[in-house]
Structure 1
Amino acid sequence: MTEDHRFPCPNCGADYRFDPDAGQLVCDHCGHSEPMHEPRARNTTIEELDFNAALSQTLPEAEIEETRVSKCPNCGAEVEFDADTHATECPFCATPVVTDTGTHRHIKPRGVLPFRLSEREAQKAMADWLGRLWFAPNGLKDYARKGRKMDGIYVPYWTFDADTKSRYSGARGTIYYVTETRMRDGKPEQVQVQKIRWTPVSGRVARFFDDILVLASKSLPKKYTDALEPWDLSELTPYSPEFLAGFRAEGYQVQLEEGFAEARAIMDRTIDRDVRFDIGGDRQRVNGIETQVSDVTFKHILLPVWMAAYKFRGKTYRFVVNGRTGRVQGERPWSAWKIALAVIAGLIVAGVVGYVIAMNQ
C-alpha cells in the first residue's frame, strides 16, 4: 500500500512539502515555510524493537497503526487512500485503482532516510540512464525527457540485528606437489602433479550483525531495488510524519518473520565465509555449522525512491531512482529496428573484412 501524508499550509490551505535541504515544510503555492515540529536529529540512535515480542504480538500498542487500503489488480501493490479519494493510479505500474474497504494493521516505521534528490534531478538521472541505452526506443527516451511526473515514494525495509555464535567441523586442505613419470609421444617425462592433504578441523566463530537490510515490499522486482544499494543508513533519522509531506509511503508486504528468514540467509552466508577464513589453509571443506542466534532486534524503516511507470506502445516500463545517490535501475526496453540495424551493420562489416582478406590472399 502507499500512503499520502498531507500537512495543510495555514496561510493558503495548500499542501506542504518537506524540503530535505532546508529541513522544513514548504508551501509551493504561496511560499510559506515552517520548521519541523521536531528538529532533524542526525546520527541519533534509533531504538530497536524486540523480535520475539513482535512475533508474540506483545509489542506496545503505540508501535502499531491501522490504515485503509486497496490492492492493485495488476501488480498486487497495496495502495492507501485518504478519506476524500476514491480512485487513483498505481504508482508501481500506472494501472487505475479504485478504493475498497480493506484495512491493514502494521508496525509503525522507526526511522526514515529523507530524500536528497529533487524530482527534477531524478528525472535527469533517469533520462541520462536511458540515453546510454542505445537499443532503447527513441520514443521512450523522448517520453522520459519531457519531464513526466515521477512519484517520490518511501519504500519499506526491515533491518535486523543479531548476536551469533557458531561451531563448525570441516577440513583444511594443504597443497603439495609430487613428481610423477608419464609417457608423452612414446617417451617418459617427469611432471609435477598437484595433491591436497586434508586435515580434520573444528572450531568456533562469533559475529554480531548490525542492520541487515531486507526489502519489505513486493511491488517492484527485487533485483531493481537491490541494485539501488548501498544506502547511507548512518544518516537515518527518527521517524516523524512531517518527513513524508508531499511524498508517499508504501506499507510493508513482506511480514516480519519472512523478512528475518531472508536476513538469516544473509547471515549464514557471512558465517560460512568466517568459518572458511578460520579454517585457513589452501582449500577448505565445511562439513557442518551449528549457529546459536540471540538478542534479535529489528526496525521498520523507510528509504527514498523516485519512481516512474510509463505505458509506451501498450507495455509498462518501470524505473526506480535512489533518492539519495541518483542511481537508476529499471526494465531495459529494446528497439527492434535498432537491433535489426545493428545486425545488418555487423554483417556488412564482416562481409567487407572477409572481402579484404580474400583479395589479399
Structure 2
Amino acid sequence: MTDTPPPAPIQEHRFGCGQCGADLRFDPGTGELKCDHCGNTEEVREAGPWAGGIKELDFRTALDNLLPAQEIEETRVSTCPNCAAQVEFDADTHAAECPFCATPVVTDTGTHRHIKPRGLLPFRLDEEAARAAMTGWLGSLWFAPNGLKDYARKGRRMQGIYVPYWTFDADTKSRYIGERGTVYHETRTVMRDGKPTTVTVQKVRWRPASGRVARFFDDVLVLASTSLPKRYTDALPPWDLTALEPYRPEFIAGFRAEGYTVQLQDGFTEARQIMDRQIERDVKFDIGGDRQRVHSVDTDVKDVTFKHILLPVWLAAYKYRGTTYRFVVNGQSGRVQGERPWSAWKIAFAVLLGLIVAGGIGYVVAMNQ
C-alpha cells in the first residue's frame, strides 16, 4: 500500500492592473492581459513554476498513486445539480448560472483533488467572434425559429470555458492472423428465356495471412468531461495541439475551467478503443489484396504516458419557450455544434406551400388533358 502524496495547497490567482488596480483578463485578440476599466495591457509572464515546457507523465505511476506531490492539486469546485458539471468558480462567487445548462447553482466550499493541467490552448476567438460564428450557424439551419436566432444574437453573455481533456502516447506492436482476398472473375453459360447466355461472375480467392504491425500513438485525445454531449464535442476538432502552451493561470483570467469527471483509467480505456480502430486499419493495409478478413489481433502496449490539458470552448445555454438549447464553439477555430432547434410554424408553412404547389401542378396537368 502506498502513501498518498499531499496535494498542493489551494492557490488563488488574481491579476491586478498596474495602473488602476482593477482585474485583468486574458484577451484572445492580443494574447495579453487586458484591463477592461482603463484599457491597460500586460504581457503573459513566462517565468515561474509553470515554465519549462509541457511534461508527459507516466501512466502506470499515476495509477499507482505515485505521482509527485507537485502534480496534484486541490481546487474549489461546485457541482451542477442538473448536468453534474464540476466548474471552478472564483472564491468570491457564491451564486452563478451553470455555463453548460443554464441551471442556477449555489457555490459551496467543496474541493476536488486532481492531477494538475500541464498544458492548454489559449482562446483565439473572443466572445464577439464566437457569437458571430454561432448566429451564423443558426442562420444556416433550415426551419430554425427566428426568435432563438435573435435571442442568441442579442441575448446574455456566452461563457468561455476551458474543458478538460486527456492525451495519451503509447508504443504498440501487434501480431495478427487473417486472410487476404483476391477478386477474380469467371464466365459461365446460363439459360435465359430458353437461350444460352454467357455471364461474368465475381469471386474471391482467400489465402491465409499473418504478420506484425507497429505504431507509435502521439496525443490520442479523450474528453475528460461528461457535461457536454459527446456528439457535439466529437465534432469540434480539429484542434491544433502544436499550439499548446504550458499551463499558466494568466490564460484562465476572465474565463472558467472545468474539473475533469472522467478518471484517468476510464480515459485510457477510451483511448485504447481509438488505438485499436487504427491498428485494425493498419492490419488490413498490411494484409493487402482486394478484401481482408481479420481473425485476431494481439497488441502489446508499452511506454504509456499522458497529459491533462485544457481546451477552449465558448458555451451558450439558452432557455427559449421552456426548452434549453446548448451550443458549443471551438475557441480556437470557431467551429460550431449544438442542439438543433425547430420552428413548428415554419415547418407547417413549408408543408402547406408544398401542398399548394403540388395541387397547382396537378390542376395544370388535368387541364392540359
Does the aligned pair in 2 maintain the 1:6–1:246 contact within 8 Å?
Answer: no
Q: Is the 8 A contact 1:123 1:147 kept in 2?
A: no
Q: Secondary structure at the match of 1:333?
A: coil
2:254 paired residue among 230, 242, 246: 246
1:1-361 → structure 2 map (5 Å cutoff): 6-38=14-46, 46-146=54-154, 148-361=156-369
Counterpart code for 2:108: D
Instruction: Quote the offset at 1:133 in angstroms.
Output: 1.6
User: Contact (CA 8 Å) 1:305, 1:320: kept in 2 or not?
Assistant: yes
Deviations 1:251-304 (A, max 9, x none): 111111111111100000000000000000110000000000000001111111
Structure 1 vs Structure 2 CA RMSD: 1.8
How many Å apart are 1:55 and its aligned residue? 0.5
Q: In structure 1, how many angstroms separate the alpha carbons of the residues matched to 2:367 and 2:172?
A: 71
TM-score (norm 1): 0.94
The DSSP-based 3-state class of the residue aligned with 1:82 is coil
| Mapped partners of 1:198, 1:173: distance in 2 | 4
Structure-1 separation of matches of 2:313 and 2:21: 27
Deviates more, 1:4-13 or 1:328-337: 4-13
Q: SS in structure 2 opposite 1:251? A: coil
Q: Would you say the 8 A contact 2:27–2:126 is kept in 1?
A: no
Deviation at residue 4 of structure 1 after TM alignment: 9.4
Using the alignment, how far apart are the partners of 1:20 and 1:143 within structure 2? 24
Structure 2 CA distance for aligned equivalents of residues 220 and 119 of structure 1: 19
Q: Hey, what's the Cα distance between the residues in 2 that align with 1:128 and 1:333?
A: 14
Could you tell me which amino acid in structure 2 is paired with residue 57 of structure 1? Answer: N
Query: Please, which moves more after superposition, 247-256 or 101-110?
Result: 101-110
Question: SS at the partner of 1:165?
Answer: strand
Matched letter for residue 26 of structure 1: K
How many aligned residue pairs are there?
A: 356
Is the 2:224–2:267 Cα contact (8 Å) retained in structure 1? yes
Match of 2:309, SS?
strand
Q: Please report the TM-score for the alignment, with normalisation by the length of structure 2.
A: 0.92
Give distance in 2, aligned partners of 1:356 and 1:215.
58
Match of 2:8 in 1: none
How big is the shift at 1:11?
A: 3.2
TM-superposed deviation, 1:68: 2.3
Verify the 8 A CA contact 1:77 1:218 in the aligned structure 2.
Answer: yes
* 4 and 284 in structure 1: CA distance in 2 versus 1, 3 angstrom threshold: farther
Distance change in 2, residues 1:21/1:39 (3 Å): farther
Look up the equivalent residue of 1:328 and give its one-letter code.
V
Sort the Cα spacing of 1:139 and 1:20 in 2 relative to 1 into closer, same or farther, 3 A. Answer: closer
The amino acid that maps onto 2:145 is P
% identical aligned pairs: 75
SS for the counterpart of 2:357 is helix
Structure-1 separation of matches of 2:16 and 2:110: 26
Larger displacement relative to structure 2 (15-24 or 184-193): 15-24
Alignment gaps of 5+ in structure 2: 1-10
Unaligned stretches of 5+ residues in structure 1: none
In 2, Cα distance between the equivalents of 1:292 and 1:123?
A: 46
SS at match of 1:218: coil
Q: 1:24 to 1:39 in 2, by over 3 A?
A: farther
1:346 Cα deviation after fit:
1.2
Alpha-carbon distance in 1 for matches of 2:32, 2:40: 10
Deviation at 1:147, TM superposition (A): 5.0
Greater Cα shift, 159-168 or 86-95:
86-95
**AA of the residue aligned to 1:322:** N
Shift of 1:181: 1.8
